[in-house]
Amino acid sequence: MFRLLNLELQKLLLSRTSKILIFISFILPFFVILLSSLKINFFGFFTLELGELGIFNFPIIWHLTTFFASQFKFFFAIVVVSMIGNEYSNKTLKQNLIDGLSKKEFILSKFYTIVFFSLVSTVLISIISICIGLYYSSYNEISIIIRETNYLVAYFVKLTGFFSLCLFLGMLAKRSAFALAFLFILFIVEWLIFGLITWKTDVDFAGKIQDFFPLKSMYNLIEQPFQRIAMTKFPDKMDLAYDYAVHWHEIAIVLGWTAIFIFLSYSLLKKRDL
């Protein structure tokens, strides 16, 4: 595993573009710290400081930081599709296979890299969340601090699943631009299917079916936290209530899609004439 991971990391570090995109991918989550220190001046009448509103209290901070950090995943998605595009354009894929690397090991090297960067990103977010939480949170009991850290698990699974999808699309298209275009097309197709099912049945049933779609299932892992924040400020408004928890069956769905994408990537490579 480490041999394959090291091989892939060496390829990425030789590319200036990849190094820049990886750097951006790891730096952007730190903007959550800027969000915590953001002060909004309302025409000189009063200043609103987000950090003083209690939205960075434990345990809600795990929800908030993982949600915002997951929005930056598209930068590393470009790295993933570029990994495949460069293999074909530079003919390094064929050379690797000639040098003795099996097709299975080739796909595993990409998957190990995806898992590695997803893990690094998760560790960074956990450190950022703890630092912000310890500074702003009104609660410092260990039981409250570690509550809802399952959002970190959801964040890691979400990144791994999404990057595995990008790996498959990269293998399918062979070109970075086409792979990213397919990603956008998949998003449209999912909503078109949802609309068709809604037209034939009802919204609730269509929503349950949509929850099994790749992109939608990944989004479901970490729901938006804005209603939850509003609920803490207006606890009497029951219409704001919604299910924001991390569910293990949703994690299982994304893990299932991850396995499918890796298998399909290997199948494409195995059948393709290089």
Note down pLDDT in tens along the chain; length 274 residues.
Answer: 778 888 778 877 777 777 787 887 778 777 766 666 555 555 554 445 565 666 788 888 899 889 988 888 888 888 888 888 777 777 777 777 777 778 898 899 999 999 999 999 999 999 988 988 888 777 778 888 889 999 999 999 999 999 999 999 999 988 888 888 999 999 999 999 999 999 888 888 898 999 999 999 999 999 988 888 777 767 666 666 778 899 999 999 999 999 999 999 999 988 876 5
**pLDDT value of residue 134:** 86
On whether the CB atoms of residues 9 and 15 are closer than 8 A, the answer is no
DSSP class of residue 57 equals -
Reading the block at residue 274, the tokens are: 């290089």
Q: 19: Cβ–Cβ under 8 A, 6 or more apart, which residues?
A: 12, 13
Indicate the helix (H) or strand (E) that contains 24.
Answer: helix 16-27
Reading the block at residue 50, the tokens are: 């987000």
Q: How far is CA 148 from CA 56, 57, 270, in A?
A: 13, 12, 41
Give CA–CA dist 152/146, Å, rounded. Answer: 11
Q: Please give the model's pTM, rounded to 2 decimal places.
A: 0.90
C-alpha angle with apex 208: 149 to 152, nearest 5 degrees?
10
Q: 157: Cβ–Cβ under 8 A, 6 or more apart, which residues?
A: 221, 251, 254, 255, 258
**pLDDT value of residue 46:** 44
Q: Assign residue 43 a region: left if phi > 0, alpha if psi is -120 to 50, beta otherwise?
A: left
Reading the block at residue 151, the tokens are: 């959002």
Quote the domain boundaries for residue 134. Answer: 2-271
Distance of CA 247 to the CA centre of its chain: 16
Give CA–CA dist 170/273, Å, rounded. Answer: 16
**pLDDT value of residue 177:** 80
Q: 161: Cβ–Cβ under 8 A, 6 or more apart, which residues?
A: 214, 217, 218, 254, 255, 257, 258, 261
- One-letter amino acid for residue 70 of the chain: S
SS3 46: strand
| Residue 157: count of CB within 10 angstroms of its CB | 23
SS3 245: coil
**Number of domains within the chain:** 1
